[in-house]
């Protein structure tokens, strides 16, 4: 197909006027944009038309397939064991991948977890793990395969060859106000996950103030779209809708989230982190065809910790090394007696970001020790003057703006008010 087959303006007009793009039009569009034949301003216009007018299932599937075709596909069939992966749409304190990957590997399922970095208020898995001295995010394909054979679990950066169209498209969506388009979110996530080549995939679709999707109906639509894309591509796919109105666990940062993950692998850790880790492990194992597994027991008895230590060591990290600690700290105290009924995830995420745990641009550095430690979660009884949160950073001039972010984060109500939290809202298959 050559550049004279279609015209970008005609394709933009079709979608602007609520028309349906043909498979050939979609294939040409993705290929031409990846090669630079379609200008950024033209693709931005098309993205906005998609945001406003949507796509049907066939269009979304073809758009995703064209993005997959822009690069390489991985193949794990030579491993001789089932593979399963998990993707989270991102949240505050979401360190679940760290204990989850080694936990699932305990049961003979290979977990090739290709992860990303944080941007804005949501943390990145690779940023967290890079707090471990010596740990390396980048692996060659052969090293990745060897580690899956020897250890069973890998958490690493995706190679540049997987869905390169997505990298270019995402950068454009980020600066043109079109990130929220569900067809484009779904195809962005699923093009990489399908190209990755796992047999089964469990999606953790977050909903709430600290999530990308604030509205449950939109989160459900995204989950249903991604599950359909996975199944259409032959990947056994299921999604959980999970709450992100309150941060996960008691930490939001990099090194402090690693420590919390190690606590979970040691059989402890916060209840919500343990609950979601175990539930996602059960879903991954079921999807991979493993029956009668008990992931909760594997956390308690140290088997998951053994895999974690081998996984970190295989990527150059020292699982026994001391984690970085922030140079400065500041405590926020409870203003009154009562029950903590609200701890806003977005506010905590923005505070951690402003303290140095996150980045505003992809090229920014992060502070390994920065973040927010929470001393109480919704439902806890608090007393005036007790510590509610500890702010951590190497640069104390950041405290003021972090405190500003937290100004309305906490609601304390009279005794007797106990909020009920549904961590897992629904399962979509």
Query: What residues are labeled active site?
Result: 87, 166, 173, 188, 192
Residue 321: helix, strand or coil by DSSP? coil
Q: Are 85 and 111 in contact (CB under 8 A)?
A: yes
Question: Which residue shows structure tokens 């936990």?
Answer: 103
Q: What letter would DSSP give residue 204?
A: E
Rounded to the nearest 10°, the torsion over CA 17, 21, 22, 27 is 140
Could you tell me the sign of the dihedral formed by the alpha carbons of 245, 251, 254, 258, in that order? negative
Closest-CA residue to 245 (of 276, 217, 279, 206): 206
Q: Are 26 and 62 in contact (CB under 8 A)?
A: yes
Between CA 137 and CA 119 the distance in angstroms is 17
Instruction: Tell me the C-alpha to C-alpha distance, in Å, between residue 28 and each of 24, 57, 132, 351.
Output: 6, 18, 44, 43
Convert 113-164 into a string of H (helix), E (strand) and C (coil).
EEECCCECCECCHHHHHCCCCCCCCCCCHHHHHHHHHHCCEEEEECCCCCCH
Q: How many residues does the chain have?
A: 429
DSSP codes, 172-201: HHHTTT-TT-HHHHHHHHHHHHHHHT-SEE
The packing angle between helices 40-53 and 182-196, to 10°, is 110
Instruction: Tell me the C-alpha to C-alpha distance, in Å, between residue 159 and each of 44, 73, 146, 163, 202.
Output: 25, 11, 16, 9, 21
Between CA 222 and CA 205 the distance in angstroms is 8
Q: Find residue 236's DSSP bridge partners.
A: 200
């Amino acid at each position: 197909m050559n550049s004279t087959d279609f015209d970008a303006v005609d394709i933009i007009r079709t979608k602007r006027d609520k028309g349906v793009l043909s498979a050939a039009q979609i294939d040409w569009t993705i290929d031409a944009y990846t090669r630079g034949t379609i200008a950024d301003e033209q693709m931005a216009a098309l993205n906005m038309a998609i945001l406003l007018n949507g796509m049907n299932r066939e269009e979304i599937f073809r758009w995703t397939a064209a993005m997959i075709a822009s690069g390489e596909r991985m193949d794990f069939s030579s491993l001789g064991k089932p593979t399963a992966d998990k993707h989270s749409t991102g949240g505050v304190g979401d360190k679940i991948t760290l204990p989850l990957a080694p936990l699932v590997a305990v049961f003979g399922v290979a977990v090739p977890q290709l992860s990303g970095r944080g941007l804005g208020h949501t943390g990145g898995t690779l940023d967290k793990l890079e707090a471990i001295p010596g740990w390396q995010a980048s692996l060659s394909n052969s090293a990745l395969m060897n580690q899956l054979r020897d250890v069973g679990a890998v958490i690493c950066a995706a190679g540049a060859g997987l869905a390169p169209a997505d990298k270019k498209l995402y950068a454009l969506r980020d600066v043109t106000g079109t990130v929220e388009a569900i067809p484009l979110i779904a195809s962005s996530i699923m093009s990489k996950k399908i190209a990755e080549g796992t047999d089964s995939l469990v999606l953790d679709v977050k909903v709430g103030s600290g999530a990308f999707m604030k509205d449950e109906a939109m989160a459900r639509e995204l989950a249903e779209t991604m599950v359909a894309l996975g199944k259409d591509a032959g990947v056994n796919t299921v999604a959980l809708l999970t709450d992100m109105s309150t941060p996960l666990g008691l930490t939001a940062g990099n090194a402090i989230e690693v420590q919390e993950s190690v606590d979970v692998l040691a059989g402890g850790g916060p209840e919500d982190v343990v609950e979601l880790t175990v539930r996602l492990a059960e879903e991954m194992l079921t999807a991979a065809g493993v029956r009668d597994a008990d992931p909760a027991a594997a956390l308690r008895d140290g088997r998951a910790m053994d895999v974690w230590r081998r996984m970190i060591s295989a990527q150059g990290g020292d699982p026994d090394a001391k984690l970085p600690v922030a140079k400065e700290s500041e405590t926020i105290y409870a203003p009154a007696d009562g029950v903590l009924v609200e701890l806003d995830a977005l506010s905590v995420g923005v505070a951690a970001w402003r303290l140095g745990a996150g980045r505003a641009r992809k090229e920014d550095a992060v502070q390994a020790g920065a973040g927010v430690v929470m001393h109480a979660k919704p439902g806890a009884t608090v007393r005036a003057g007790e510590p509610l949160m500890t702010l951590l950073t190497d640069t104390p001039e950041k405290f003021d703006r972090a405190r500003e972010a937290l100004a309305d984060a906490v609601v304390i109500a009279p005794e007797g008010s106990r909020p009920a939290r549904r961590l897992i809202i629904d399962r979509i298959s």
